[in-house]
Amino acid sequence: MTGEQRGLRRALIALCVTQITGWGVLYYAFPVMVSTVSADTGWSAAASMGAFSLGAVVSAVAGIVVGRLIDVRGPRQVMTAGSVVGVVSVLAIAAAPSLPAFYAAWALAGVAQAVVLYPPAFAALTSWYGPHRLRALTTLTLVGGLASTVFAPLTAYLLDFMNWRGVFLLLAVLLGAVTIPLHALALTPPWPGASRVAHRQDPHPATVARSRAFIMLTAAMSAAALGMFAATVNLVPLLTWRGMDTHLAAITLGLCGAGQLLGRLAYGALSARVEPRPRTVGLLATAAVSVLALGLLPGPTALLIVVSVLAGAIRGLFTLLQATAVADRWGTRAFGRINGVFTAPVTAATALAPGAGALLTEVMGGYVASYGVLAGLVLLGTLAAGMAGTGRLPAAGSDIERSCAS
């Protein structure tokens, strides 16, 4: 193994560890604590979750700027700084004396999410690994998918011994101790982006972002993300409405999460056999069918569980579909800038999905109608993906790996 290969492997391992920690602290810990936060502060659960959702929306917007910084600076400086911002934001959450301060702290946490979670890590691995990026991205998402498995029970355990503010303080220390040194010391492979991108003078990112293919693909993925995530996040209330007891419904949600890992494992084989456009259309069409099935099937219980696992597998495939969509069509030139624009509305749709799903069920008067609408939304995304075309631009041909041609 060459020194360059060792450096790439070290960076990949570091990112796997920091993704588990970053997702665990900045995302998965709070839903476990939300009822405790509400009971202690008197803020309603909806108001508390509103702060959390604000962070996700801020993350979507900030991701556009972060993509540009990654292209220019590389991941080492940007993600190390993001880790510091993450620590400060978690400390601010722990110390928030009022609801407005709590919202401000979560807005800062959203900035940190944009700098340390999947999109910048995807940008780093895509540029470092080039045509071999899929294996690295699959590894990262498989390991990152364990964040909820590790941090949800860990957070619940810590709440048995300290209040929620103390838990956040401890998690801030953990976030800093793990992610700051790993980002600073392990993300050291030479950064190819700086030598390939003429920064602000490079017309390629703007050309891509204005193209019909890019706009249609971004709309397709955003619509699909909203429909899919709203359907799976609201799975427990749907299943209990279908007659499952809460315990079995929660287990089914866990199996849905396990299905995501299976989907990510299968993506490599799918990518090798199916080109980007039909792969996207086929996956989104399957997602629409799974969402509709969740809404329409009255049972039996075993079948509902199977469909839930299938929906989870599709979500897992969707994660890697999103991670590879830009590079598969437009190459890795200025990837951070282009992917930041592409990811922003998808991230925003994901952030809005939990509340949108619950609100839609209330407005439509039940899960059958609401899941039908969500399936229709994913189907619209499918149609938009079909209309997006291949995405190839004549000016970008020299920067697109032949192995990824669509």
- pLDDT string in tens for the chain (406-residue length): 687 788 999 999 999 999 999 999 998 888 888 888 988 999 987 788 888 889 988 998 999 899 889 988 899 999 999 999 999 999 999 999 999 999 999 999 999 999 999 999 999 999 898 888 889 999 998 888 888 778 888 888 899 999 999 999 999 999 999 999 999 999 999 987 554 444 455 667 788 888 999 999 999 999 999 999 888 878 878 888 888 887 888 788 778 878 888 888 899 889 889 998 999 999 999 999 999 999 999 889 999 999 999 998 998 899 899 988 988 888 888 888 888 899 889 988 988 887 788 788 888 888 899 999 999 999 999 999 998 876 665 443 333 333 333 3
> What length is written for the chain?
406
The CA distances from residue 136 to 122, 267, 315, 316, in Å, are 9, 12, 19, 15
**Cα–Cα dist 359/230, whole Å:** 10
Contact by Cβ (8 Å): 25, 180: no
- The predicted pLDDT at position 193 comes to 56
363: enclosing H helix or E strand: helix 335-364
**243: alpha, beta or left, given left = phi > 0 and alpha = psi -120 to 50?**
left
Cα 112 to Cα 59, 160, 219: the distances in Å are 7, 28, 25
What is the value of pTM for the model shown? Answer: 0.79
Q: Is the peptide bond before 278 cis (omega within 30 degrees of 0)?
A: no
Return the amino acid letter for 330: W
Q: Do 342 and 218 touch, CB atoms closer than 8 A?
A: yes
Confidence at residue 393, expressed as pLDDT on a 0 to 100 scale: 53
Which domains does the chain carry? 3-196 (1.20.1250.20), 199-404 (1.20.1250.20)
Interior angle at CA 155, CA 150 and CA 157, nearest 5: 100
Note the helical H segments in 74-163.
Answer: 75-95, 99-116, 118-129, 133-144, 147-159
Which is it for the CA torsion 60, 313, 29, 122, positive or negative?
negative
Q: Nearest-CA neighbor of 26 among 97, 89, 98?
A: 89
